[in-house]
Amino acid sequence: MRQRRNSVGEETNVTRIALLTGGGDKHYAFGLATALTTKNVFIDFIGSDQLASPTLDGNPRINFLNLRGDQNPKASLIKKMGRIALYYSRLLWFGATARATVFHILWNNKLELFDRTVLLFYYKLFRRRLIFTAHNVNAAKRDRVDNWLNRSTLYLQYHLVDHIFVHTDKMKAELVSDFGVPSDKISVIPYGINNIVPLTALSAGEARRRLGVKRGDFTMLFFGQIAPYKGLEFLLDALSELLKKCSRYRLIIAGQPKWNGAYWKEMSSVITRSGIGARIIQRIEYIPDEEIEVYFKAADVLVLPYTHIFQSGVHFLAYTFGLPVIATNVGSLKETIVEGQTGFISAPCDSVDLGKTIERYFSSELFWKLDQQRPLIQEYANAEYSWEKVATVTERVYSNLIAGCHA
């Protein structure tokens, strides 16, 4: 276990908190932690090998604690079980001995049910004030695998923690209606823009050349984990119909199948049966950070044909690169798109309307002046979804909880 302690923790008037990352979601954890340090917050950052970075090491107000270590998915089952046990033993020790009063949980760990119940009760034994960022109110409901046990443990988690952050008003409303969480216990914060993924001088032309996209292609991108709720089948149906009218449409599918890959196998069969495979570039694998910009610079638009979601990190990743977004009207996606300026909205679960929306985009000024529009989209995103905004609200909650401890 690698650990680095900084003398800044001894400063007066510095708010000290523990940020429990769950070992993943690098861009969110980095963006939040870095912004918080500008608000006079000292952070015990609980991370993993995946999150180890010079960015954190070089910040005197971040004490990086690599409690989780290696997360190689190709390790043997025995090794995986051993490292999970080691991680939880370290986490329990930290929970008992940490100097920070406030524990901010960004994501739960591998043992979700344990994390929602026993682990939270354990933290409470040591008088920790708990904050949880609910990126999804009930992911199992979204994935159609919800059950009584899942809802019960979520209920416990939401009532055991002292404060909850969500990213949209709709998420807050669902916490109140479905789980009975008091509204004054919930704060809505933006989903911070991704400022971790490398953004180089790579040109759109060079990115297209690398992926084999021809000049003049109308290029759409479907990016991220491939799962049923993302509605890829509707995009494939729309593409099939569009190609009957114009051969210039091109789709890039880049991402890793979720769970056992059954959904992707089904989508792959759809591609084969419809005969559109020649117009689809498939990169069905995990895309590392250093390769992401190639896809977002090669594309003319990101398409999110989702059937159910509250908010999408991929959406904000597109804005990082100034890429417009076509999204379905589910969750709060509509709230984050300025129609005709940063993208377009289509009806969910409707390939016909999606196809019409795609045609509308490729005939719009937004597309034909894309080189000029990309910087404007980036400016909009940096203003509306800045980590500075997130950190301001977050630090205020920390201070209130700490003041309550000393009252």
Q: Is the pLDDT of residue 147 over 90?
A: yes
- CATH 3.40.50.2000 matches 204-384: yes
Q: What are the CA-CA distances from residue 126 to residues 97, 114, 179, 230, 287 (Å)?
A: 9, 17, 26, 41, 40
Q: Is the pLDDT of residue 7 over 70?
A: no
Report pLDDT digits (tens) over 277-306.
999 999 999 998 899 999 999 999 999 999
Q: If you average pLDDT over each of 287-291, 348-352, 399-403, which comes out highest?
A: 348-352
Q: Give the model's pLDDT for residue 144.
A: 83
Q: Give the model's pLDDT for residue 50.
A: 82
Q: Give the model's pLDDT for residue 106.
A: 95
Report pLDDT digits (tens) over 67-113.
988 887 788 889 989 999 999 999 999 999 999 999 999 999 889 99
Average pLDDT taken over every residue of the chain? 91
Least confident window among 3-17, 116-130, 193-207: 3-17
Q: Give the model's pLDDT for residue 72.
A: 79
Q: Give the model's pLDDT for residue 317.
A: 93
For residue 175, how many other CB atoms are within 10 A of its CB?
22
Confidence of residue 1 (pLDDT cuts 50, 70, 90): very low
For residue 174, how many other CB atoms are within 10 A of its CB?
19
Q: Is the dihedral of CA 50, 208, 351, 277 positive or negative?
A: negative
Could you please state the CATH topology (level 3) that the domain comprising 7-192+386-406 is classified under.
Answer: Rossmann fold (3.40.50)
Q: Where are the domain boundaries for CATH 3.40.50.2000 in the chain?
A: 7-192+386-406, 204-384
8 Å CB contact between 207 and 236: no
Q: Give the model's pLDDT for residue 23.
A: 66
pTM attached to this predicted model: 0.86
Q: Is the pLDDT of residue 9 over 80?
A: no
**CA-to-CA distance for 170 and 324, rounded, in angstroms?**
23
Q: Give the model's pLDDT for residue 8.
A: 47
